[in-house]
Amino acid sequence: MPAWIEAGYREYARRMPPDAGLELVEIKPEKRAAGASTARIQKLEAERILAALPPQALLLALDERGRQLTTLELSAHLARWMQEGAQPCFVIGGADGLDTSVKERSPLLLGVSRLTLPHGLVRVLLAEQLYRAVSLLKGHPYHRE
């Protein structure tokens, strides 16, 4: 990832309180070989993604067709997941998107934007929104209220 992506993610991860920290796990994308179909690449990446998830993970897949939450809605979901003791794991797909097997395991398919965004930028946007959502849970004022 470019340095600005790394810096943006680290900034929001640093701001998170200890009881709601962010951990980034990067999965190596599948190499594009001659004759390899998009479906095959997605399947191989899905195997790596699912193998990397902790046993107690609540898989939340990001997809351009997913539900777009407001920050307040995301905060409410986080509150519920925290009460339930869930470990939300947000999965951002690679260049070809996520395999159906990953999306089907997600109880809530999330969308960040209907725009096509590079997955590095989505990483920063998601980290910022998680920081903002947790800030709301901690009683910090939200600029729209």
Which residue range forms the structural domain that includes residue 107? 1-17+56-145
In a domain, 101, yes or no: yes
Model pLDDT, residue 32: 77
Model pLDDT, residue 104: 95
- Around 62, how many Cα atoms within 13 Å sit in the side-chain half-sphere? 26
Model pLDDT, residue 3: 93
In a domain, 25, yes or no: no
Q: What is the pLDDT of residues 63-95, one digit of tens each?
A: 989 999 999 999 999 999 989 989 999 999 888
Domain at 6, CATH number:
3.40.1280.10
Q: What is the pLDDT of residues 9-23, one digit of tens each?
A: 999 999 999 888 899
In the chain, how many domains are there?
A: 1
In a domain, 44, yes or no: no
Whether the pLDDT of residue 7 is over 70: the answer is yes
Model pLDDT, residue 143: 63
Whether the pLDDT of residue 35 is over 80: the answer is no
Of residues 50 and 115, the one with the higher pLDDT is 50
Let me know how long the chain is.
Answer: 145
* Category of 140 on φ-ψ map: left (φ > 0), alpha (ψ -120 to 50) or beta: beta
In a domain, 143, yes or no: yes
Whether the pLDDT of residue 34 is over 90: the answer is no
Whether the pLDDT of residue 130 is over 90: the answer is yes
Distance (Å, whole) CA 119 – CA 124: 9
